[in-house]
Amino acid sequence: MRADAVPGTERQGAARVAATAGWTALALLVSALAHAAPTGLVAQGGVARWTGLAAEDCAIMGKRYPAVDAVCYYPIDLRAKPGVHEIALYDQDGKQHLGSLTVEAVEFPEVEITLPDDTYVELSEANRNRHIEERARVLALFKGKPGPAQFSLPLAQPANMPASENDFGSRRLFNGVRKSQHTGRDAPVAMGTAVKAVADGKVLLAEDQFFTGHSVFVDHGGGLVSMNFHMSELLVAAGDEIKRGQTLGKVGSSGRSTGPHLHLGMRWMGARIDPYLLLASPNLLPTVGETVVKAEAKIDAARTAEPEEVDPPGKAPAP
Give dist(CA 270, CA 268) in Å, integer.
Answer: 5
DSSP letters for 229-296: EEESEE---TT-EE-TT-EEEE-B--SS-SS-BEEEEEEETTEEE-GGGGTS-GGGS-BTTS-HHHHH
Identify each DSSP E strand in 127-209 by its residue range. Answer: 171-174, 177-181, 184-187, 194-196, 201-209
Superfamily grouping for domain 39-104: Peptidoglycan hydrolase domains (2.60.40.1590)
- pLDDT the model gives residue 318: 32
Q: Which amino acid is at 194?
A: A
Assign domain 110-273 to its CATH architecture.
Distorted Sandwich (2.70)
DSSP letters for 22-82: HHHHHHHHHHHHHTSPPEEEEETT-EEEE-SS-EEEEEETTEEEE-BTTBEEEE--TTPPS
Contact indicator for 250, 214 with CB cutoff of 8 Å: no
Closest CA to 109 of 42, 165, 175: 165
Would you put residue 5 in left (φ > 0), alpha (ψ -120 to 50) or beta?
beta
What are residue 99's DSSP bridge partners? Answer: 87
- pLDDT the model gives residue 162: 79
Torsion of CA 87, 91, 97, 103, to 10 degrees: -20
**The length of the chain, given as a count of residues:** 319
Averages of pLDDT over runs of 10 residues in the chain (319 residues) are 45 48 43 65 97 97 97 97 98 97 93 89 95 96 93 97 78 83 92 98 98 97 98 98 98 95 96 96 96 86 67 33
Give dist(CA 183, CA 176) in Å, integer.
Answer: 20
Contacts of 147 (CB under 8 A, 6+ apart): 66, 221, 222
- pLDDT the model gives residue 10: 52
Give dist(CA 302, CA 104) in Å, integer.
Answer: 14
Give dist(CA 79, CA 44) in Å, integer.
Answer: 6
Contacts of 246 (CB under 8 A, 6+ apart): 196, 197, 236
- pLDDT the model gives residue 62: 94
What are residue 100's DSSP bridge partners? Answer: 39, 86
Closest CA to 266 of 276, 257, 279, 275: 275
Q: How far is CA 75 from the centre of its chain?
A: 4
Q: How many CB atoms lie within 10 A of CB 294?
A: 12
Q: Which helix (H) or strand (E) is 83 found in, with range?
A: strand 83-91
Q: How many CB atoms lie within 10 A of CB 169?
A: 22
- pLDDT the model gives residue 17: 43
Give dist(CA 193, CA 129) in Å, integer.
Answer: 32
| Domains of the chain, residue spans | 8-36, 39-104, 110-273
